[in-house]
Structure 1
Amino acid sequence: MIEILNPTELGRAREAGALVAAILQTLRSRSAVGTNLLELDHWAREMIADAGALSCYVDYAPSFGSGPFGHHVCTSVNDAVLHGLPHDRTLADGDLLSLDLAVSLRGVVADSAISFVVGSSRPTGSTEMIEATEQALAAGIAAARPGAHVGDISHAIGSVLTAAGYAVNTEFGGHGIGSSMHQDPHVSNTGRPGRGYRLRPGLLLALEPWVMADTAELVTDADGWTLRSATGCLTAHSEHTVAITEDGAEVLTQPATT
């Protein structure tokens, strides 16, 4: 299903996006050496409830997971890159943490992910990897405009990632979003320009480049959810929800500036 939002729904999408961005930034500020992943999940649950919103993850049970997910935020550490199931683990200095959050507010969903290093240590290549996903995300957003194709976004993202030296996994990528978290069209992190669905104003997309340092192969944890690099290498993940407008793409999950 592909949804095209009307102006009223787009206004609610902006509210959902602002909430997701605010929660992620709060969780980032609380992610210190010694913080437990279950604490992050608890704080996410509280902030979502206080806003009168709903988590998209608690009852999430897709075919590729061992559902329901049962938690409120994905917490992926170091070699974990996607769908990290929160568990009893305290963060250490130098851990590369990815947080992925999707929330429904007033019937519209927003989805975003950030990656950052906890503490003062910086593992080799971690900063460059995070920056590569952020730059690829920016390139994908720049390519998202009315009349363009999904393949234009995929090509823009993939070009940045491969130029930075990373292999691109195509099992998981971006997606349409609206009244539910995962919708058509699928937005691969690499592709051919001029191919795929033609973008229209009112379309919402969650764009999410992610990479692993030295492989494109994933393995699944025994928890049935957490996806890790097959070699145990570091990983990074960046994501924004964007709305296609008459003028281009509006980022709905951009953190507020102070």
Structure 2
Amino acid sequence: MIIQKTREEIELMRESALIVSKTLGMLAKEVKPGVTTLYLDKLAEEFIREQGAIPGFLGLYDFPNTLCMSPNSQVVHGIPNKTPLQEGDIISIDCGAIKNDFYGDHAYTFAVGEIDPETQKLLDITKESLYVGIRELKVGNRVGDVGFAIQNFTEKHGYGVVRELVGHGLGKKMHEDPEMPNYGRRGRGKKFIEGMVVAIEPMTNMGTQKIKQHKDGWTITTLDGKPSAHFEHDVAIIDGKPELLSTFQYIYDALGIVSDEENEFRQQPLVL
């Protein structure tokens, strides 16, 4: 069952989402060769608590850390460790926070130093597919409309769309209805309604769509060992249209990137 949120609840969720956004923005300056993912995880936990929030992933389903840190061929759910990042790596950082009893949850894949053009294209297309999917999140459309849009766009570029891992509804629980696959058929699945909030998160592989889970019970990698990218936003339906609750703008400010990609999904200007 889809849980509708009131405008007041959506604003509380925006606050949680923006704490995650600020955390990712803080980490953006720290992602560089020689840094360990365990160090970044420690920074994130401290920062989230300083914002008056609780790390949303720590202890969830017994996950041991604040961040899911997934470099290179790891798709999602990587556990932070003491292995230093290297020049040319990419790393998905997925972060959650709880404030006012509501979750925020979103992710960004960072380049570590300079990366090769082929990998940069994977990141660009995956992030663009996120917005392609968000455009379909409107009253009257269905889950399959979002999934189809992401899949169609991504596969046209020759990439693999992960099937086993999906986005989800979001609220007082990390995972609510509906599940939000990144593949599907138009007109299929649950119908979107006013006041719903979802996390849309394309996971795109440079090669095969197939994945494997490791013995730690968490880490997911591509079956062929090729890189994977992951981007995620929290989105509400307000006045029938998609409204971003999260933002990559803190990341862009930290990295000196100029972008207007989020403007079409904001009914009011973002106040940083």
Could you tell me the TM-score, scaled by structure 1's length?
A: 0.94
Q: CA deviation at 1:239?
A: 0.6
**What SS does structure 2 have at the residue aligned with 1:41?**
helix
**What SS does structure 2 have at the residue aligned with 1:244?**
strand
Please state if 1:202 is matched with 2:195. yes
Q: CA deviation at 1:222?
A: 2.8
**What SS does structure 1 have at the residue aligned with 2:79?**
coil
2:118 to 119, 122, 125: 125
Report the counterpart of residue 71 of structure 2 in structure 1: 77
Report the counterpart of residue 15 of structure 2 in structure 1: 15
2:173 to 165, 168, 180: 180
Please state if 1:55 is matched with 2:55. yes
Report the counterpart of residue 264 of structure 2 in structure 1: none
- Identity %, equivalent residues: 33
**What SS does structure 2 have at the residue aligned with 1:143?**
coil
Measured in 2, the distance between the counterparts of 1:107 and 1:202 equals: 17
Measured in 2, the distance between the counterparts of 1:98 and 1:249 equals: 24
Q: CA deviation at 1:146?
A: 1.1
Read off the aligned partner of 1:186 and give its amino acid letter.
Answer: E
Measured in 2, the distance between the counterparts of 1:123 and 1:180 equals: 38
In the alignment, structure 2 segments of 5+ residues that lack a partner are: 254-272
Read off the aligned partner of 2:179 and give its amino acid letter.
Answer: H
Q: CA deviation at 1:221?
A: 2.4
Report the counterpart of residue 243 of structure 1 in structure 2: 236
1:94 touches 1:119 (CA, 8 Å); kept in 2? yes
Aligned 1:127-206 pairs, distance under 5 A: 127-206=120-199
Measured in 2, the distance between the counterparts of 1:201 and 1:110 equals: 19
Q: CA deviation at 1:155?
A: 0.9
Report the counterpart of residue 262 of structure 2 in structure 1: none
Q: CA RMSD, aligned part only?
A: 1.3
User: What's the CA shift string for 1:131-173, capped at 9, x where partnerless?
Assistant: 1111110011111111111111111111111111112221111
**What SS does structure 1 have at the residue aligned with 2:135?**
helix
Read off the aligned partner of 1:94 and give its amino acid letter.
Answer: G
Report the counterpart of residue 270 of structure 2 in structure 1: none
Read off the aligned partner of 2:221 and give its amino acid letter.
Answer: R
Read off the aligned partner of 2:41 and give its amino acid letter.
Answer: D
2:171 touches 2:197 (CA, 8 Å); kept in 1? yes
Report the counterpart of residue 259 of structure 2 in structure 1: none
2:16 touches 2:99 (CA, 8 Å); kept in 1? yes
User: What's the CA shift string for 1:42-93, capped at 9, x where partnerless?
Assistant: 01100111111112211121xxxxxx11100111011111101111111110
Measured in 2, the distance between the counterparts of 1:102 and 1:202 equals: 21
2:126 touches 2:229 (CA, 8 Å); kept in 1? yes
2:100 to 90, 103, 106: 106
Report the counterpart of residue 37 of structure 1 in structure 2: 37
In the alignment, structure 1 segments of 5+ residues that lack a partner are: 62-67
User: What's the CA shift string for 1:93-116, capped at 9, x where partnerless?
Assistant: 001111001111111111111012
Read off the aligned partner of 1:112 and give its amino acid letter.
Answer: H
Report the counterpart of residue 220 of structure 2 in structure 1: 227
Measured in 2, the distance between the counterparts of 1:255 and 1:117 equals: 14
Measured in 2, the distance between the counterparts of 1:58 and 1:17 equals: 16
Measured in 1, the distance between the counterparts of 2:226 and 2:24 equals: 24
Measured in 2, the distance between the counterparts of 1:225 and 1:88 equals: 17
Report the counterpart of residue 90 of structure 1 in structure 2: 84
Q: CA deviation at 1:124?
A: 4.9
Change in 2 beyond 3 A, CA 1:132/1:4: same
Q: How many residues align?
A: 251
Report the counterpart of residue 64 of structure 1 in structure 2: none
